[in-house]
Amino acid sequence: MPLRSFFRHVIFLPLFAPTMMHGIGMVYLFGNKGLLTALGLRVGLYGPVGIILSEIVYTFPQAFLILLISLSTSDYRLYEAAESLGADSLRKFRTVTLPGVKYGLANAFIVSFILAFTDFGAPKVVGGNYNVLATDIYKQVIGQQNFSMGATVGILLLLPAVVAFCVEQYMRRQQGGVINARSVPYRVRPDKMRDAVAFLYCGSVAFCIVGLLGVVVFAALVKVWPYTLSPTLDHFSFRYVAGNGLETYLNSIAVAAASAVAGTLFVFCAAYLFEKTRRFSPARRVGRFLALLPLALPGLVIGLAYIFFFNRTVFPLPGGIVLPNPFRGLYGSAAILVLANVVHFLSVAFLTATTALRKLDDEFEQVGESLGVPFYRIFTAVTVPMCLPAIFEIALYFFVNAMVTISAVVFLYPPGFKLASVAIVNMTDAGDIAPAAAMSVLIVLTNIAVRAVFEGVTGSVRRRTAVWMRSEGV
Amino acid sequence: MKKAMVLACALALSLFAAVGPALAGNLVVYTALEDDQIPTYLESFKKAHPDISVTIVRDSTGVVTAKLLAEKDNPVADVVWGTAATSLLILQGEELLEGYDPKGIERVLPEFKDSASPVRWVGIDAWMTAFVVNEIEMKSKNLPHPQSYENLLDPKYKGLVVMPNPASSGTGFLTVSAILQLFGEEKGWAYLDKLNENIAVYTHSGSAPAKLAGTGEYPIGISFGYRGIIQKRKGEPVATIFPKEGSGWELEANALIKKKEIKPEAKIFLDWAISDAAIAEYSKNFAIVSVPGIGSVPEGFPADPVKQMVRNDLVWAAESRERILDEWNKRYGMKETR
């Protein structure tokens, strides 16, 4: 299919943009004065329709990421076997492809469901009067300062995470390693008809995404939307608005970089220990459950919980013992932002890591063991190189999310250390939509640039380590 | 690869180290004032006290209040500046505020400050309800601008009016509470029932209706005066109309946070924050300031702004808040979107 890598990159764009940007784009396209509305396409944006549209855009790249990792590591030998047994393509799809990505498919479904369930940005901007739990929490906590009611609703939001964990456990029993030491990667054979259909589909998806974000770029470059459409670059100066020059932008980059490094190290090591060790099975199960939990936590809850925990001077223990809080210093420093980001975005990163690790056969460890190679050698010499694509995706995932996140960090940023994403919300609150759009554009460009650098620098590494993908097994 | 990781770790650590100590010896001020106002106000403070360094934490009223409540055990802020008085009343209920009479407190009108002595909070300015109307859209629909609350009930405005949800927005609440105080509770609810017929959407934030009016999404927004006037200055085709019957209003106020070590600079800041110089700055943006006779009414506001304000009992409003919101939610909380 032509333009494959282009599509692959475009699909990640929504992840690169602050949710506010999606909201602004939706309103400019489908709102009562929107471009498409003016052309006669009335969708009734404010309400469930708007929420569903936004959530599709918002969850698309996340589901895509999980499915991509899942599909890209399928074993070609199975297809060959199916073919030699005379299976047609439908049957191949049903008996080889689907079972192979079952785990990824279920994860993608669960992740999308929970993300949409707990998302607050879209319902706030385009939800109209349609009440969802996530906005209810906001009304309780921010509108009425009713923390206990907010906490109660927060627990309700956790229920899907429990369901997700049960499903995950069930699927885990169903599927062991698919890639083993003798695997051969999937090879795509040319097929004009299939490619044309795929091209059409990818093209329309890409068109929707580019259109949505493009209209925001446009809004950042005109004077007063939608009445004075003369071009201007004024909005990029960020004077007299919450942007505070470019300071917030640089703060965001520093925090995002730190979050990417800390998060990736932590997640991959944790996932490895959970997947590839054999002792302490109950503890590993608890760990897996805990790793999935943050997915269902609204950032608001994480933010406030962190204040409650890290800002305490002492913890009274039963029996009259008073324990001074050793983590007190974190609150009011930028490190707490990194910590909050790592926890907040742990789940999808963790799922990506486990999906990749699960695909690797345990044989590698067993062979290593029998040859007397210590586990850390296997880890650095086999596991890490083979999972490198997943590791890079995880790092990038942490980076871009840290760039755009708002809900948790709005409570945690230290005085004098504001982040660009928070500035965007403040700007939209103050009615400075155009500078907010401009800052969003800057963030998107940064994320694209970081992605490009990632791919450039690591391209050679990947070529070296992905040798197995081209040759006949390892 | 390894080098990059070491570098990034070092970066993370240095961040941690750099930001931590910056807090000590620094006055931390929490505020809900608008971002475009703060730098000019602070310039005036810097002129008077060049030796005091101030760190501003700005956010919307709800977030600032939630943050202060969550930090209750170990407050970070030294001073709250320009934040809704009803929010400060909540903080006062949690015993988070320390009484302090700033210099010149006697100049502040009595309805703009706490009745206790020393005062726990003192107002600096007031903002009021106004309709923000999109002139282009109204003209193309051939509709007159609504001039009063009564006008808004006209069926021809059906589906064109937007107002903030009082449960999430301070502006929404002050408008509802003003209507209830203006018409009396029974008639007030009857009025809101009818108004509900014309409302297209209840928004989350108080400035959203004005913004939606500015972009023509919904041509009539019930919002507050400052917002509409600023949008006009930025070139949006909006008119700001103060309702004939009078406007609901709310104070922006300052307070000293109760903590173990109250910095002397905090009191200096609060003294400055109601000084003539500071009030003169506020009066450039607000028609009503808490010290009479300073500055002139900015363009776009009514000539006699005090007359425009309805009689508003802030303490009644704070006490009845929960009851009003429950009733409001029962009546309009589940309104279907049109």
Q: Do residue B76 and residue A332 have CB atoms under 8 angstroms apart?
A: yes
Is A75 a residue whose pLDDT tops 80? no
Measured CA to CA, the distance from residue B135 to residue B290 in angstroms comes to 33
Mean pLDDT value across residues B305-332: 87
Contacts of A313 in chain B (CB under 8 A): 73-74
**DSSP codes joined into one string, B129-153:** EEEEEEHHHHHHTT-PPP-SHHHHT
Residues in Cβ contact with A207 at an 8 Å cutoff, skipping those fewer than 6 apart:
none
Tokens of A35: 């471009």
Q: Which residues in chain A are closer than 8 Å to B261, comparing Cβ atoms?
A: none
Q: B109 with B192, same domain?
A: no
Burial A121-137 (b: 16+ CB within 10 A, else e): bbbbbbbbbbebbbbbb
CA distance B14 to chain A (A): 9
Its domain, for residue B272, covers: 18-126+250-303
Residue A347: phi and psi, rounded to 5, are: -60, -50
Residue B269, pLDDT above cutoff 90: yes
Sign of the alpha-carbon dihedral angle for B94, B98, B99, B100: negative
Beta bridge partners of B125: B252, B289
Q: How many CB atoms lie within 10 A of CB A322?
A: 9
Q: Name the residue of chain A whose CA is nearest to B12's CA.
A: A258
* Predicted pLDDT of residue B213: 93
Cα(B11)–Cα(A259) distance, rounded to whole angstroms? 11
Flag whether B8 is in a domain. no
What amino acid occupies position A290?
L
pLDDT at A220: 82
Instruction: Read off the pLDDT of each residue in A54-68 and give the average, rounded to a whole number.
Output: 85
CB contacts of A141 in chain B (<8 Å) are: 66
Give A128→chain B minimum CA distance, Å: 6
Query: Is A332's CB within 8 Å of B227's CB?
Result: no
pLDDT at A153: 82
CATH code assigned at B107: 3.40.190.10
Q: Could you read off the pLDDT of B204-232 as tens digits, one per residue?
A: 788 889 988 988 889 999 999 988 998 89
Q: How far is CA A174 from the centre of its chain?
A: 26
Residues of B with Cβ-Cβ distance to A322 under 8 angstroms: none
pLDDT of residue A262: 94
Per-residue model confidence (pLDDT) at position A27 = 84
Percent share of chain B, pLDDT over 90: 54
Sequence-distant (6+) residues with CB within 8 A of A142 are A300, B60, B62, B63, B65, B66, B168
Looking at the fold, whether B189 and B40 belong to one and the same domain comes out as no
User: Could A311 and B205 be called an inter-chain contact, meaning their C-beta atoms sit closer than 8 Å?
Assistant: no
Return the residue of A nearest to B2 by Cα: A261
- Residue B98's pLDDT band, with cuts at 50, 70 and 90, is very high
Could you tell me which residues come within 8 angstroms of residue B161 by beta carbon, excluding any fewer than 6 positions away? B152, B195, B198, B199, B200, B218, B220, B221, B222
pLDDT at B25: 59
The residue-averaged pLDDT of A318-340 equals 82
Determine the distance in angstroms separating the CA of B305 from the nearest CA of chain A, rounded to an integer. 23
Residues in chain B closer than 8 A to A430 (CB atoms): 34-36, 207
Shared domain check, B33 and B152? no
B181, B311 in Cβ contact below 8 A? Answer: yes
State whether B326 and B208 are in the same domain. Answer: yes
Lowest mean pLDDT across A201-205, A277-281, B28-32, B251-255: A277-281
**Which of B217, B229, B338 is the mutation pick for testing A, counting most A CBs within 10 A?**
B217
Average pLDDT, integer, range A344-352: 87
Cβ distance B15 to A335 less than 8 Å, yes or no, reads yes
pLDDT score of B7 = 54
The answer to whether the CB atoms of A334 and B19 lie below 8 A apart is: yes
Distance from CA of A140 to the nearest CA of B (A): 8
Dihedral (Cα; A444, A450, A454, A456), 10-degree rounding: 90
> What's the rounded mean pLDDT across residues A280-299?
81
Quote the domain boundaries for residue A109.
4-470
For residues B77 and B32, membership in a common domain is answered with yes
Which residue of A412, A429, A462, A464 to mutate against B (max B Cβ within 10 Å)?
Answer: A429
Q: Which residues of B touch A265 (CB under 8 A)?
A: 5
DSSP assignment, residue A127? -
CB atoms within 10 A of CB B145: 15
pLDDT tens string B236-250:
899 999 999 999 999
Burial of A227 (0-12, 13-18, 19+ CB in 10 A): middle
Q: Do B70 and A311 touch (CB under 8 A)?
A: yes
- Planar angle of CA B327, B329, B335, nearest 5 degrees: 130
- Fill in the amino acid letter for B173: F
**pLDDT averaged over chain B?**
87
User: Is residue B9 assigned to a domain?
Assistant: no
Q: Would you place residue A472 in the very low, low, confident or very high pLDDT band (cuts 50, 70, 90)?
A: very low
Locate B333 and state its tokens.
């909380």
From B19, B207, B334, residue closest to A431, measured CB to CB? B207
pLDDT (0 to 100) of residue A7 = 84
Using alpha carbons only, what angle is made at residue B147 by residues B143 and B148, rounded to the nearest 5 degrees?
125
Cβ contact, residue pair B20, A333, below 8 Å: yes
Give mean pLDDT, residues B256-265. Answer: 92
Q: Do B218 and A255 count as a contact with CB atoms less than 8 A apart? A: no
The confidence band for A311, taking pLDDT boundaries of 50, 70 and 90, is: confident
**How far apart, in Å, are the Cα atoms of A311 and each of A71, A110, A251, A303, B292?**
45, 34, 22, 12, 41
DSSP state of A414: P
The residue with tokens 């490619």 is A195
Contact state of A334 with B15 under an 8 Å Cβ cutoff: yes
Q: What is the mean pLDDT of residues A177-191?
A: 64
Q: What angle do CA A76, A77, A80 make, to 5 degrees?
A: 95
A301, pLDDT greater than 60:
yes
Q: For B55, which of A410, A416, A426 is closest by C-beta distance?
A: A416
A311 and B73 in contact by Cβ < 8 A? yes
What percent of chain A has a predicted confidence (pLDDT) above 70?
Answer: 88
What pLDDT sits at residue B338? 35
| Closest residue, chain B, to A306 (C-alpha) | B70
Cis amide bond preceding B302, omega within 30: no
Nearest-Cα distance to chain B for A139, in Å, is 5
How many CB atoms are closer than 10 A to CB A84?
Answer: 8
Q: Which residue do the tokens 């755009």 mark?
A: A404
Q: Tens digits of per-residue pLDDT, A432-466?
A: 777 888 888 889 999 989 988 877 776 766 666 55
Which residues of B fall within a CB distance of 8 Å from A329? 20
Q: What's the helix, strand, coil split of chain A in %, to 5?
A: 70, 5, 25
Report the range out of A64-78, A228-242, B216-230, B306-320 with the highest average pLDDT.
Answer: B216-230
Q: Give the closest-approach CA distance of B106 to chain A in angstroms.
A: 32
Q: What percent of chain A has pLDDT over 90?
A: 7
Per-residue model confidence (pLDDT) at position A243: 52
Highest mean pLDDT among A214-223, A417-426, B244-253, B324-333: B244-253
pLDDT of the residue at B1? 45
Look at chain B and report how many structural domains it folds into.
Answer: 2
> Which parts of B81-215 fold into alpha helices (H)?
85-93, 135-140, 149-152, 170-183, 185-198, 208-214
Contact B283, B289 (CB under 8 A): yes
Rounded to 10 degrees, the C-alpha dihedral A335/A338/A344/A345 comes to -160
How much is the pLDDT for A179? 54
* Count of other CB atoms within 10 angstroms of residue A467: 10
CA B328 to chain CA centroid, Å, is: 21
Q: CA–CA separation, A226 vs A61, rounded Å?
A: 30
What does the pLDDT read at residue A264? 92
B219 by Cβ neighbours in 10 Å (0-12 / 13-18 / 19+) ranks as buried
The CATH number for A286's domain is: 1.10.3720.10
Q: Which two tokens stand for residue A156?
A: 């309700």
The identity of residue A318, as a single letter, is P
* Residue pointed to by tokens 């990059």: B4
- Judged against a pLDDT cut of 50, whether residue B188 lies above it is answered with yes
Nearest 5°: phi and psi at B296?
-125, 165
Please give the pLDDT value at position B48. Answer: 92
Q: Do residues A276 and A357 lie in contact, with contact meaning Cβ atoms separated by under 8 Å?
A: yes
What is the per-residue burial (b if ≥16 Cβ within 10 Å, else e) of A14-32? bbbbbbbbbbbbbbbbbbb
Q: Between A176 and A72, where is the model more confident?
A: A72
Residues A391, A203: Cα–Cα separation, whole Å: 28
Complex confidence, ipTM: 0.74
Residues B255 and B114 in one domain: yes
Q: How confident is the model at residue B19 (pLDDT cuts 50, 70, 90)?
A: very low
Look up residue B337 and give its DSSP letter: P
Residue A254 has pLDDT above 90, yes or no: yes
CB-CB under 8 Å, A426 with B35: yes
Question: Do A145 and B165 make contact, defined as CB atoms within 8 angstroms?
Answer: no
On whether both B235 and B323 belong to a single domain, the answer is yes
Which of A129, A131, A227 is the best residue to mutate to test the B interface, defined by the most B CB atoms within 10 Å of its own CB? Answer: A129
pLDDT of residue A464: 62
Instruction: Report yes or no on B5 lying in a domain.
Output: no
The listed range with the strongest mean pLDDT (A109-113, A223-227, B18-22) is A109-113
Answer whether A145 sits within 8 Å of B66, measured CB to CB.
yes
Contact A30, A53 (CB under 8 A): yes
Banded pLDDT at A72 (limits 50, 70, 90):
confident
C-alpha span between A449 and A456 (Å, rounded): 10
Statement to judge: residues B151 and B54 lie in one domain: no
* pLDDT value at residue A474: 39
Average pLDDT over chain A reads 80
The single-letter DSSP state of residue B258 is P
For residues B145 and B180, membership in a common domain is answered with: yes
pLDDT at position B132 over 90: yes
Query: pLDDT per residue over B149-176, tens digit each?
Result: 999 999 999 999 999 988 878 889 999 9
List beta partners, residue B123: B253
Distance CA A267, CA A392 (A): 12
Residue of chain B with shortest Cα separation from A423: B59
What residues are paired with B256 via a beta bridge? B79, B98
Total number of domains constituting chain A: 1
Query: Which tokens sit at A358?
Result: 């699960």
- Position B80 scores a pLDDT of 96
* Cα–Cα separations (whole angstroms), residue A220 to A22, A178, A183, A435: 14, 48, 50, 7
Q: Which residue among A260, A333, A415 sits closest to B57, beta carbon to beta carbon?
A: A415
In this prediction, residue B206 carries a pLDDT of 85
Residue B233 lies in a domain: yes
Q: And the tokens for B254?
A: 């300052």
